[in-house]
Amino acid sequence: MVKLKPEYYQNSDVIFLAQDLLGKILFTKKNEEITAGIITETEAYFGEADKASHAYGGLRTLRTEAMFQTGGYSYVYLCYGIHHLFNIVVSQENDPKSVLVRAVEPYEGLSVIESRRNRPASDKTISSGPGSVCKALGIDMKFNKKPLNGEEIWIEDSGLQYSQDDIASTPRIGVAYAGEHALLPFRFYLKKNRYVSKK
DNA sequence: CTGGCGATTCTC
DNA sequence: AGAATCGCCAGA
């Protein structure tokens, strides 16, 4: 397998990328331990015009700064004071589009993932939900604004291909405040995979 | 400076 | 159903 190249992420079609990233494999290396998961669920945030995005209206602050970088970087932030959430920044510089990774299927370093989550890898809740993904793969704020083709965190192309029939789409989770954008069907997941936050 | 709240999860 | 828990942002 090969790491996805920076050009892959510089596509401005975040709706396409959110679906195309399903089946790709997210790796992290922390304390010399490598863990990885197959991406099974994503959400697309389409930038300045998206009322559900942290970058709505072009809001550029210390927190959202990562999203304004060129595609191929990470955006990690803390939610509810407890949970880390991991996003893939896409498109070009100053176009703050991103893909939130909401669930993965454990792929490598299973024993490490199991001890981080204190449950067996066969339990589908081990890495379903954006906070759980980060805990399973050891992602914290130190992983913010990192290039996704580096040595700490990266994504590989598994070669898996899916058709539209394999992918379900629903409104995004937890964005009821986003007015008319709350209902847009920009959450995507693999229908046949158990490791999804909710069907 | 201060107050309210969030792209959530776990436990009761 | 409710708690945990804190950084971020808006408003004063």
The domains located in chain A, with CATH, are 2-190 (3.10.300.10)
The pLDDT of residue A59 is above 90: yes
* Mean pLDDT, residues A94-115: 98
Cβ of residue A159 lies below 7 Å from strand C: no
Q: Which nucleotide is nearest to A128 (CA to C1')?
A: B9
Percentage above 90 pLDDT, chain A: 98
Ordered DSSP codes for A8-75: HHT-S-HHHHHHHTTT-EEEEEETTEEEEEEEEEEEEE--TT-TTSTTGGG---TTGGGGGSPSSEEE
For residue A99, what are the CA distances in angstroms to A42, A127, A135, A166? 6, 17, 18, 19
In angstroms, the CA of A98 and the C1' of C1 are apart by 33
8 A C-beta contact, residue A87 and residue A67: yes
| Tokens, residue A102 | 């909401």
Distance A134 CA to C11 C1' (A): 33
The rounded distance, in Å, linking the Cα atoms of A195 and A143 is: 23
Query: What pLDDT shows up at residue A120?
Result: 97
Give the distance, in angstroms, between residue A97 CA and nucleotide B6 C1': 19
pLDDT in tens, A117-169: 999 999 999 999 999 999 999 999 999 999 999 999 999 999 999 999 999 99
Q: Locate A147 and state its tokens.
A: 């290039």
| Interior angle at CA A187, CA A184 and CA A189, nearest 5 | 150
Residue A74 is encoded by which pair of tokens? 């990470």
- Asked whether residue A1 carries a pLDDT value surpassing 90, the answer given is no
